[in-house]
Amino acid sequence: MPHPRWQEVYAKPITLPEFIDHIYSHRIFLNAIFTEGVKRLLEIGTGSGSMSIFLSHLGFQITSIDNNDEVIKIAQQNNEILRGNLKIIKADAFNLPFSENSFDLVFHQGFFEHFSNEEIHNLLTEQLRVAPIVVFSVPTCYYLSKSLGERLLTKREWENILTDFKVVESAYYGLPRPDSFLKRFLISIGWRRIYYYAKIKR
């Protein structure tokens, strides 16, 4: 079920400065997708649509799914505003409406932290059915907010959850270029470890 506040989280169309900041803050994660050299991507959990919009600007063929009609509507508006080239559909992540190997890669950011270990295992198995590669990112225990029921875990905890899968990359990453005062503060609370990403292959 969609979180009851998701349509509030994404209620306003994304502005260009917000879009640029969001993409830059996840540059390491996005580069992990880009360097695979693939073409057909599936995003699970559309959200604002910003990551898929950015990747569509690079020529990727993007399909993005969400199960919340209001979120899909907002993402479609952002796609138009930011001149993306997305196909956005309503679908259930536990039962993807695609045949085996329909995509080259599945990705998502800020999705897995809302599920139990068993659900993550089932979701990941389903994602690896439709694509041979999954790249995902989640906020960690160093993230500054827990307003939507997230499970904020460490890198080690995530790697324990993923032990049944072939993880080929796994790393923390952080926020971009803080100024000197902010940098000292953020380093003290682990800003370089605010996010965790993993790349998994069959």
> Up-side HSE of residue 110: CA atoms within 13 Å toward CB?
20
Nearest to 60 by CA among 25, 92, 28, 35: 35
* Structure-token match 């209001």, residue found: 70
Reading the block at residue 37, the tokens are: 């050299």
Average pLDDT of the residues in 165-169: 98
- Specify the DSSP element, H or E, that contains 109: strand 105-109
Summary count for the chain: helices (H), strands (E): 8, 7
pLDDT tens for 65-113 read: 999 998 899 999 999 999 999 999 999 999 999 999 999 999 999 999 9
What is the identity of the amino acid at 83?
Answer: R
- Whole-angstrom Cα distance, residue 17 to residue 102? 34
Neighbours of 36 (CB within 10 A): 17
Domain ranges of the chain: 6-201
Residue 144, Cβ density class (10 Å: 0-12 exposed, 13-18 middle, ≥19 buried): exposed
Lowest mean pLDDT among 6-15, 98-107, 177-186: 177-186
Phi, psi of 19 (to 5 degrees): -60, -50
- Percent of residues, the chain, with pLDDT higher than 70: 83
Characterise 177 by phi-psi region: left (phi > 0), alpha (psi -120 to 50), beta (else): left
pLDDT tens for 117-141 read: 999 999 999 999 999 999 999 999 8
- Which pLDDT belongs to residue 3? 47
- Whole-angstrom Cα distance, residue 127 to residue 108? 11
CATH superfamily of 6-201: Vaccinia Virus protein VP39 (3.40.50.150)
- Whole-angstrom Cα distance, residue 107 to residue 85? 17
